[in-house]
């Protein structure tokens, strides 16, 4: 019976490799976002001379938005892979290895995720405020409400995480 249990545990442990294609899919998502970023840069640069100040600001905010999402994907891919699939032992001495790699746990990853969602939501809200004349009060109200929900959720999650950490 112990042998069966051991075999099952090895099988269960090996199943973590089923996450590897998910991280490969996130690499594809990075490429898609890179194309979107290039398109935004092209559109912004092609109309920079005729665009109003608010249109330029909205264009730049769109670039920042894409950049935040891409950075978040990098954090999720690298820390998720190291936390759930395999340690990247060969890269520990690499000069370009980010300091946070190997130190972000699942809880830290969730905090970074909610923080990024709040930042992205804030950028979308700022873009909406820059274009407030084209939005209904109801639409703007929903955007503010959703953003505040993200902010409150982030604060509550950070508080719960901090309270839980003090117990250890």
The Cα–Cα gap between 41 and 45 comes to 6
**Residues 143-167 pLDDT 10s:** 999 999 999 998 998 888 888 875 4
Instruction: Give the percent of the chain with pLDDT over 90.
Output: 39
- This prediction's pTM: 0.76
The Cα–Cα gap between 11 and 147 comes to 42
Q: How is residue 134 written in tokens?
A: 């084209």
As a whole number of angstroms, the longest Cα–Cα distance in the chain is 76
Predicted pLDDT of residue 166: 54
Q: Is the pLDDT of residue 46 over 60?
A: yes
């Amino acid at each position: 019976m112990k042998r069966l249990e051991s075999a099952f545990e090895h099988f269960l442990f090996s199943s973590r490799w089923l996450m590897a294609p998910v991280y490969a899919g996130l690499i594809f998502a990075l490429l898609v976002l890179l194309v979107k970023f290039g398109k935004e840069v092209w559109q912004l640069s092609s109309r920079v001379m005729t665009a109003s100040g608010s249109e330029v600001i909205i264009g730049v905010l769109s670039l920042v938005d894409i950049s935040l999402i891409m950075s978040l994907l990098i954090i999720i891919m690298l820390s998720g892979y190291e936390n759930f699939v395999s340690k990247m032992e060969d890269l520990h001495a690499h000069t370009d290895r980010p300091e946070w790699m190997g130190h972000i746990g699942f809880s830290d990853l969730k905090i970074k995720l909610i923080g990024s969602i709040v930042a992205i939501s804030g950028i979308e809200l700022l873009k909406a405020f820059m274009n407030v004349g084209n939005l209904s009060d109801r639409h703007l109200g929903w955007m503010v409400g959703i953003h505040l929900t993200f902010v409150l959720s982030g604060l509550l999650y950070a508080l719960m995480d901090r309270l839980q950490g003090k117990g250890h």
